[in-house]
Amino acid sequence: MSRRSALLAALPATVVLTGQAIADVTPEEVWNVYESYVEAYGIDVSASTVRNGDVLEVSDINFGITLPQGFGTIDMSMDGISLTDRGDGTVAFEYPDQSEMVFDMTIGPMGDQVSGSATVSYAITGNETIAAGTAEDLALQSTVETMSMSLTDLSFSEEPEIDASIFDINFEFSGMNSQSRIRTVDGMTTVDTQGDVGSMIYSMVFTDPETGDRFLENSGNSEGTRSTTSITIPASGINWMDFGNELRNGLSIESSSSVASSNSASLTPIEGAASEQRSSSTDVTSNIMFDADGLAISGTYGSSNFSYSMAELLPFPIEAEIEGASVDFAMPVLSTESAAPVVYAVAVDGLSVSDQIWALLDPSAVLPRDPVSLDIDLTADVRLLVDLFDFEALMPMIENEEIPAELESLTINALDASAAGATLSTTGAFDFDFTDMTTYPGMPKPIGSATLAATGVNALLDRLITIGLVSESDAMGARAGIAMIAEATGDDALETTVETTDDGQLIVNGQRMR
């Protein structure tokens, strides 16, 4: 996990309410804060407000989004809410028990746009949402016992056969609670949110509009979801067409989440080729950080299981499981004078398949059936020549087959794998000279070295011969090729060192190759 990802993962829940001032806030101030926050994302907000005693009724709520490059518009309307002055300086939100959100869309390139509408119905029980503080520092705390959402209407003007009857989509949530804090300091708005969801269940069924037959059924559930998010928005709001400049002005997003357990199933009930896929995971975490320093994403999986079955074609399910996995990725997104770090790391621990699959390949159990492990850990220094969001500068470079970045260095911290009794490990580091594109035509000159070590390769070849997957002649050719580039360092242990020098030499195991 990178340093930035680790810091994000450690973001404490108490950040949401730490330092919250105790003061009076009015329903009008609460609505204005919410309206201003949404508008900062470039979304137009309109609504009717009427004060009736202690209650501010907000109705005819509409949100409008204009997509970049004339790609269309999305408008959403929803039923009203009530904001009640509780007489103690706090405000209570009251939502309808049942309501609808209606989306009207016109999407697509100019001259080829598609218009349509969709309606999402939702129901809420046991909701209490309270706002406290001031207009400049507002805290909200919310609990919801249950919430359900479903797609109840769908239509497209150009595709009349597509409607809600072919999409049966439903979500159910329970045990929800959240704490949020919206602060404005020197024009910059920061929103910190922590939320928990006890459980979530979803189902999606897709039907062929011509035959009325189901062709895909998805379902799943999760338990124990927690998320923490912090968003900072520049004073001028977000200009999506100048996203790089917004990042330089302070736009940032930090998010972390965890899921105790999750399950999913996918069924394709097609006659003659019906298939079913199931998966489950435990202790899943994810972290995202996005700001002027770049984009960083990391995540971990605990034990996970996967199965795939197709009764008409496969005699038994294909089953696999892993003991754990992780991913860590970071890269710059803005151009700079100097290089910025890039991280790419993927690890899979304990990947194993069922004995039935092994029996097909190796019925006599000649091959060791130890779980497979993989560890890729690469770091680099990269200089971006243009912002990745500056499409006017980026597209001509792509069209001219120019690379909008320069790789200055690459470090192989680990490139390891183990399977069937054999192991492979690689480490190394290289610098790249972009002023020399002729020593190695078409690429910058590399300067550095890498070492590759392997064990159990000859034993693996012997076993593959025994089970008939590799012929004697093929194995002999493989061993001859390995002998040309590798040195023996022990019993069935091999090592290769590759070095590229500043004067253009390529040296393998001490022998100059060019």
192-238 pLDDT, tens digit per residue, is 999 999 999 999 998 887 777 788 899 999 999 999 999 999 988 88
Q: Is residue 236 part of a domain?
A: yes
Q: Is residue 290 part of a domain?
A: no
Q: Is residue 258 part of a domain?
A: no
Judged against a pLDDT cut of 60, whether residue 471 lies above it is answered with yes
Which residue would you say has higher pLDDT here, 161 or 246?
246
Mean pLDDT computed over every residue of the chain: 90
469: DSSP letter: S
Query: pLDDT tens-digit profile of 334-389?
Result: 998 899 999 999 999 999 999 999 888 889 999 999 999 999 999 999 999 999 98
Q: Is residue 436 part of a domain?
A: no
Q: For position 272, what pLDDT does the model report?
A: 67
Q: What are phi and psi of 162, to 5 degrees?
A: -90, 120
Asked if 416 and 425 count as a contact pair (C-beta separation under 8 A), the reply is yes
Q: Is residue 493 part of a domain?
A: no
Q: For position 451, what pLDDT does the model report?
A: 97
> Which sign does the torsion angle of CA 384, 388, 392, 395 carry?
positive
- Based on the structure, what is the number of domains in the chain? 1
Judged against a pLDDT cut of 70, whether residue 444 lies above it is answered with yes
Asked if 170 and 159 count as a contact pair (C-beta separation under 8 A), the reply is no
Q: For position 213, what pLDDT does the model report?
A: 79
> Which sign does the torsion angle of CA 135, 137, 141, 147 carry?
positive
Q: Is residue 116 part of a domain?
A: yes
By CB atoms closer than 10 A (0-12, 13-18, 19+), residue 161 is exposed
28: DSSP letter: H
Q: 3-class DSSP state for residue 362? A: coil
Asked if 280 and 265 count as a contact pair (C-beta separation under 8 A), the reply is no
Judged against a pLDDT cut of 50, whether residue 262 lies above it is answered with yes
How far CA 249 is from CA of 34, 211, 303, 339, in Å, comes to 22, 54, 41, 21
C-beta contacts of 361-369 below 8 A and 24+ residues apart: 361/467, 361/469, 362/467, 364/466, 364/467, 366/463, 366/466, 366/467, 367/420, 367/421, 367/460, 367/463, 367/464, 367/467, 368/420, 368/421
Q: What is the mean pLDDT of residues 400-428?
A: 94
Q: Is residue 60 part of a domain?
A: yes
Task: Specify the residue for token string 């989306």.
Answer: 103
Q: Report the share of the chain in percent with pLDDT over 70.
A: 95
Domain of residue 232, residue span: 22-241
Q: 3-class DSSP state for residue 260? A: strand
Q: Is residue 502 part of a domain?
A: no
Query: pLDDT tens-digit profile of 85-95?
Result: 999 999 999 99
- Cα distance from N-terminal residue to C-terminal residue, the chain: 39
